[in-house]
Structure 1
Amino acid sequence: MADTKFKNSKFSFPDGWKRASNGGVVGKDKYRPDISVKDNDGNYILVMESTSAGDRKVGVGELLQADKFFRDEKVRGILIFSLCGQSATSPRKETQKDYIEPYFNYLAQCDSECGVKSVYFIQEQDFKAINWFVLNEEFKSKCLEINA
Protein backbone atom coordinates (compact mmCIF):
# COMPACT_ATOMS: atom_id res chain seq x y z
CA MET A 1 0.00 0.00 0.00
CA ALA A 2 1.33 3.40 -0.87
CA ASP A 3 2.15 5.75 2.00
CA THR A 4 -0.77 8.02 1.11
CA LYS A 5 -3.32 5.20 1.29
CA PHE A 6 -1.80 3.96 4.55
CA LYS A 7 -1.88 7.44 6.09
CA ASN A 8 -5.52 7.88 5.06
CA SER A 9 -6.67 4.55 6.51
CA LYS A 10 -9.29 4.77 9.29
CA PHE A 11 -7.31 3.59 12.32
CA SER A 12 -8.97 2.89 15.67
CA PHE A 13 -6.74 3.76 18.62
CA PRO A 14 -7.08 3.01 22.34
CA ASP A 15 -9.53 5.28 24.18
CA GLY A 16 -8.36 8.86 24.40
CA TRP A 17 -5.58 8.46 21.84
CA LYS A 18 -5.69 10.69 18.77
CA ARG A 19 -3.82 10.90 15.51
CA ALA A 20 -1.42 13.85 15.70
CA SER A 21 0.16 13.80 12.24
CA ASN A 22 -0.03 12.14 8.83
CA GLY A 23 3.56 12.39 7.71
CA GLY A 24 3.98 15.90 9.05
CA VAL A 25 6.98 17.10 11.01
CA VAL A 26 7.05 16.33 14.74
CA GLY A 27 9.80 17.04 17.24
CA LYS A 28 12.79 19.32 17.23
CA ASP A 29 14.72 17.26 14.67
CA LYS A 30 11.94 17.43 12.08
CA TYR A 31 11.09 13.73 12.36
CA ARG A 32 8.41 12.70 9.83
CA PRO A 33 6.80 9.38 10.78
CA ASP A 34 3.99 8.19 8.54
CA ILE A 35 1.59 8.56 11.48
CA SER A 36 2.07 9.87 15.01
CA VAL A 37 -0.42 9.48 17.85
CA LYS A 38 -0.88 11.30 21.16
CA ASP A 39 -2.34 9.80 24.32
CA ASN A 40 -5.13 11.38 26.38
CA ASP A 41 -2.54 13.52 28.22
CA GLY A 42 -1.31 15.02 24.95
CA ASN A 43 1.98 13.09 24.91
CA TYR A 44 3.27 11.49 21.74
CA ILE A 45 2.99 7.77 22.49
CA LEU A 46 2.98 5.94 19.16
CA VAL A 47 4.49 6.22 15.70
CA MET A 48 3.60 4.00 12.76
CA GLU A 49 5.60 3.36 9.62
CA SER A 50 4.45 1.61 6.46
CA THR A 51 7.27 -0.04 4.57
CA SER A 52 7.39 -2.00 1.35
CA ALA A 53 11.14 -2.62 1.37
CA GLY A 54 12.74 -5.58 3.10
CA ASP A 55 15.87 -3.49 3.63
CA ARG A 56 17.44 -3.76 7.09
CA LYS A 57 18.83 -0.21 6.89
CA VAL A 58 15.38 1.32 6.42
CA GLY A 59 14.01 -0.39 9.54
CA VAL A 60 17.06 0.42 11.65
CA GLY A 61 16.83 4.05 10.56
CA GLU A 62 13.14 4.21 11.47
CA LEU A 63 13.89 2.66 14.87
CA LEU A 64 16.68 5.12 15.61
CA GLN A 65 14.61 8.15 14.59
CA ALA A 66 11.64 6.99 16.69
CA ASP A 67 13.85 6.24 19.70
CA LYS A 68 15.49 9.67 19.63
CA PHE A 69 12.11 11.35 19.16
CA PHE A 70 10.59 9.57 22.18
CA ARG A 71 13.68 10.32 24.31
CA ASP A 72 13.45 14.00 23.34
CA GLU A 73 9.74 13.94 24.24
CA LYS A 74 10.58 12.13 27.51
CA VAL A 75 8.07 9.31 26.96
CA ARG A 76 8.04 5.54 26.65
CA GLY A 77 6.99 5.07 23.05
CA ILE A 78 5.61 2.41 20.74
CA LEU A 79 6.72 1.84 17.14
CA ILE A 80 4.58 -0.12 14.70
CA PHE A 81 5.92 -1.37 11.38
CA SER A 82 3.11 -2.09 8.92
CA LEU A 83 4.74 -4.33 6.32
CA CYS A 84 3.41 -3.99 2.80
CA GLY A 85 3.92 -7.03 0.60
CA GLN A 86 3.83 -5.41 -2.83
CA SER A 87 7.50 -5.09 -3.73
CA ALA A 88 10.02 -7.56 -5.13
CA THR A 89 11.70 -7.67 -1.72
CA SER A 90 8.53 -7.68 0.36
CA PRO A 91 9.24 -7.43 4.07
CA ARG A 92 8.08 -10.23 6.35
CA LYS A 93 7.52 -9.77 10.04
CA GLU A 94 9.88 -12.61 11.05
CA THR A 95 12.73 -11.22 8.94
CA GLN A 96 12.14 -7.63 10.03
CA LYS A 97 12.03 -8.64 13.70
CA ASP A 98 15.33 -10.48 13.29
CA TYR A 99 16.86 -7.41 11.61
CA ILE A 100 15.63 -4.90 14.19
CA GLU A 101 15.93 -6.81 17.47
CA PRO A 102 19.73 -6.49 17.98
CA TYR A 103 19.53 -2.70 17.49
CA PHE A 104 16.47 -2.44 19.72
CA ASN A 105 18.30 -4.39 22.45
CA TYR A 106 21.34 -2.15 22.05
CA LEU A 107 19.22 0.99 22.49
CA ALA A 108 17.46 -0.60 25.48
CA GLN A 109 20.85 -0.97 27.21
CA CYS A 110 21.38 2.80 27.10
CA ASP A 111 19.74 3.11 30.53
CA SER A 112 16.93 5.50 29.71
CA GLU A 113 13.36 5.42 30.97
CA CYS A 114 12.33 7.00 27.69
CA GLY A 115 12.57 5.92 24.06
CA VAL A 116 11.03 3.11 22.04
CA LYS A 117 9.96 0.48 24.55
CA SER A 118 7.82 -1.72 22.27
CA VAL A 119 8.00 -2.56 18.57
CA TYR A 120 5.23 -4.37 16.69
CA PHE A 121 5.55 -5.92 13.23
CA ILE A 122 2.33 -6.61 11.34
CA GLN A 123 1.69 -7.55 7.72
CA GLU A 124 -0.38 -4.78 6.17
CA GLN A 125 -3.00 -7.19 4.80
CA ASP A 126 -3.51 -8.49 8.38
CA PHE A 127 -3.83 -4.92 9.67
CA LYS A 128 -6.45 -4.17 7.02
CA ALA A 129 -8.29 -7.44 7.78
CA ILE A 130 -8.78 -6.36 11.42
CA ASN A 131 -10.12 -2.98 10.25
CA TRP A 132 -7.02 -1.05 11.30
CA PHE A 133 -7.55 -1.58 15.05
CA VAL A 134 -4.37 -0.61 16.89
CA LEU A 135 -3.06 -2.43 19.99
CA ASN A 136 -6.15 -4.48 20.80
CA GLU A 137 -5.85 -8.24 21.38
CA GLU A 138 -6.66 -9.12 17.76
CA PHE A 139 -3.94 -6.72 16.58
CA LYS A 140 -1.42 -8.24 18.99
CA SER A 141 -2.33 -11.77 17.88
CA LYS A 142 -1.31 -10.83 14.30
CA CYS A 143 2.01 -9.24 15.32
CA LEU A 144 5.49 -10.14 16.31
CA GLU A 145 6.60 -7.95 19.19
CA ILE A 146 9.80 -6.80 20.89
CA ASN A 147 9.68 -5.21 24.36
CA ALA A 148 12.28 -3.54 26.54
Structure 2
Amino acid sequence: MMQKHKTYTVEEAKRALESFCAYQERCHKEVVSKLIAMHMIPEARDVVIGHLIEHNFLNETRFAKAFVLGKFRIKKWGRIRLTRELKFRDISTYNINLALKELSDDTYLATFHDLAEKKAASIRESHPLKKKKKLADYLLYRGWESHLVYDKINTLV
Protein backbone atom coordinates (compact mmCIF):
# COMPACT_ATOMS: atom_id res chain seq x y z
CA MET A 1 0.00 0.00 0.00
CA MET A 2 1.41 3.42 -0.94
CA GLN A 3 1.87 5.98 1.76
CA LYS A 4 0.32 9.35 1.18
CA HIS A 5 2.39 12.40 1.99
CA LYS A 6 1.04 15.86 2.53
CA THR A 7 1.16 18.01 -0.56
CA TYR A 8 1.90 21.71 -0.33
CA THR A 9 0.98 24.56 -2.62
CA VAL A 10 3.72 27.07 -3.37
CA GLU A 11 2.03 29.58 -1.04
CA GLU A 12 1.80 27.03 1.80
CA ALA A 13 5.45 26.17 1.30
CA LYS A 14 6.41 29.86 1.37
CA ARG A 15 4.58 30.38 4.67
CA ALA A 16 6.00 27.20 6.22
CA LEU A 17 9.55 28.11 5.21
CA GLU A 18 9.16 31.72 6.32
CA SER A 19 8.50 30.49 9.84
CA PHE A 20 11.27 27.86 9.46
CA CYS A 21 13.76 30.63 8.58
CA ALA A 22 12.38 33.12 11.10
CA TYR A 23 12.90 30.66 13.96
CA GLN A 24 16.69 30.64 13.44
CA GLU A 25 19.16 31.50 10.70
CA ARG A 26 19.22 28.88 7.95
CA CYS A 27 21.55 28.21 5.06
CA HIS A 28 20.36 27.45 1.52
CA LYS A 29 21.24 23.77 1.92
CA GLU A 30 18.90 23.39 4.94
CA VAL A 31 16.08 25.12 3.10
CA VAL A 32 16.52 22.96 -0.02
CA SER A 33 16.54 19.82 2.16
CA LYS A 34 13.33 20.96 3.82
CA LEU A 35 11.71 21.60 0.43
CA ILE A 36 12.78 18.17 -0.81
CA ALA A 37 11.30 16.62 2.33
CA MET A 38 8.07 18.49 1.51
CA HIS A 39 8.13 16.79 -1.94
CA MET A 40 8.28 20.09 -3.83
CA ILE A 41 9.22 20.00 -7.51
CA PRO A 42 12.44 21.83 -8.55
CA GLU A 43 10.56 24.74 -10.18
CA ALA A 44 8.51 25.30 -7.02
CA ARG A 45 11.67 25.07 -4.88
CA ASP A 46 13.27 27.82 -6.96
CA VAL A 47 10.19 30.04 -6.56
CA VAL A 48 10.12 29.54 -2.77
CA ILE A 49 13.88 30.13 -2.35
CA GLY A 50 13.64 33.27 -4.52
CA HIS A 51 10.80 34.52 -2.33
CA LEU A 52 12.75 33.83 0.89
CA ILE A 53 15.85 35.65 -0.40
CA GLU A 54 13.81 38.58 -1.73
CA HIS A 55 12.04 39.05 1.61
CA ASN A 56 15.30 38.63 3.57
CA PHE A 57 14.33 35.40 5.33
CA LEU A 58 17.33 33.68 3.76
CA ASN A 59 20.74 35.36 3.78
CA GLU A 60 23.95 33.30 3.63
CA THR A 61 26.20 36.10 4.92
CA ARG A 62 23.98 36.61 7.95
CA PHE A 63 23.80 32.84 8.48
CA ALA A 64 27.60 32.48 8.33
CA LYS A 65 28.15 35.30 10.84
CA ALA A 66 25.54 33.95 13.26
CA PHE A 67 26.91 30.41 12.92
CA VAL A 68 30.51 31.44 13.56
CA LEU A 69 29.72 33.63 16.57
CA GLY A 70 27.34 31.08 18.08
CA LYS A 71 29.55 28.01 17.69
CA PHE A 72 32.62 29.95 18.85
CA ARG A 73 30.90 31.35 21.92
CA ILE A 74 28.99 28.22 22.96
CA LYS A 75 31.04 25.26 21.70
CA LYS A 76 34.42 27.05 21.65
CA TRP A 77 35.28 25.90 18.13
CA GLY A 78 38.44 27.17 16.42
CA ARG A 79 38.66 28.70 12.95
CA ILE A 80 39.51 25.40 11.24
CA ARG A 81 36.40 23.62 12.54
CA LEU A 82 34.21 26.64 11.80
CA THR A 83 35.50 26.80 8.23
CA ARG A 84 35.01 23.05 7.72
CA GLU A 85 31.44 23.14 9.04
CA LEU A 86 30.53 26.14 6.87
CA LYS A 87 32.01 24.48 3.76
CA PHE A 88 29.96 21.38 4.59
CA ARG A 89 26.89 23.63 4.42
CA ASP A 90 27.96 24.94 0.97
CA ILE A 91 28.71 28.47 2.19
CA SER A 92 30.93 30.47 -0.18
CA THR A 93 34.56 31.17 0.72
CA TYR A 94 33.77 34.89 0.59
CA ASN A 95 31.04 34.54 3.24
CA ILE A 96 33.22 32.26 5.37
CA ASN A 97 36.01 34.83 5.39
CA LEU A 98 33.56 37.63 6.23
CA ALA A 99 32.17 35.63 9.14
CA LEU A 100 35.60 34.72 10.51
CA LYS A 101 36.56 38.41 10.52
CA GLU A 102 33.85 38.88 13.16
CA LEU A 103 36.08 37.06 15.68
CA SER A 104 38.55 39.43 17.28
CA ASP A 105 42.06 38.01 17.70
CA ASP A 106 42.14 38.95 21.41
CA THR A 107 38.88 37.14 22.19
CA TYR A 108 39.91 34.19 20.02
CA LEU A 109 43.23 33.69 21.80
CA ALA A 110 41.75 34.30 25.26
CA THR A 111 39.09 31.66 24.61
CA PHE A 112 41.73 29.24 23.33
CA HIS A 113 43.94 29.69 26.41
CA ASP A 114 41.01 29.32 28.82
CA LEU A 115 39.78 26.18 27.05
CA ALA A 116 43.26 24.61 26.94
CA GLU A 117 43.96 25.33 30.61
CA LYS A 118 40.57 24.05 31.75
CA LYS A 119 40.92 20.84 29.73
CA ALA A 120 44.54 20.28 30.85
CA ALA A 121 43.43 20.56 34.48
CA SER A 122 40.63 18.04 33.92
CA ILE A 123 42.75 15.33 32.26
CA ARG A 124 43.46 12.57 34.79
CA GLU A 125 46.59 11.13 33.21
CA SER A 126 49.90 10.82 35.02
CA HIS A 127 52.08 10.04 31.99
CA PRO A 128 53.07 13.41 30.42
CA LEU A 129 53.10 12.19 26.80
CA LYS A 130 49.66 10.59 27.11
CA LYS A 131 48.37 13.77 28.72
CA LYS A 132 49.83 15.86 25.88
CA LYS A 133 48.20 13.57 23.31
CA LYS A 134 44.78 13.75 24.96
CA LEU A 135 44.97 17.54 25.18
CA ALA A 136 46.18 17.87 21.58
CA ASP A 137 43.45 15.56 20.27
CA TYR A 138 40.80 17.54 22.16
CA LEU A 139 41.95 20.92 20.88
CA LEU A 140 42.61 19.80 17.31
CA TYR A 141 39.18 18.15 17.11
CA ARG A 142 37.64 21.47 18.09
CA GLY A 143 39.40 23.10 15.15
CA TRP A 144 42.16 25.10 16.79
CA GLU A 145 45.27 25.76 14.71
CA SER A 146 48.04 23.21 15.25
CA HIS A 147 50.76 25.80 15.95
CA LEU A 148 48.63 27.26 18.77
CA VAL A 149 47.84 23.80 20.13
CA TYR A 150 51.41 22.52 20.23
CA ASP A 151 52.82 25.77 21.67
CA LYS A 152 50.21 25.71 24.43
CA ILE A 153 50.72 22.00 25.20
CA ASN A 154 54.43 22.48 25.63
CA THR A 155 53.87 25.30 28.13
CA LEU A 156 51.11 23.46 30.07
CA VAL A 157 52.35 19.86 30.33
* TM-score, with length taken from structure 2: 0.28
Q: Which has the higher strand share?
A: 1
Q: Higher helix fraction: Structure 1 or Structure 2? A: 2
Q: What TM-score results when the alignment is normalised by the length of structure 1?
A: 0.29
**Higher CA-based Rg:** 2
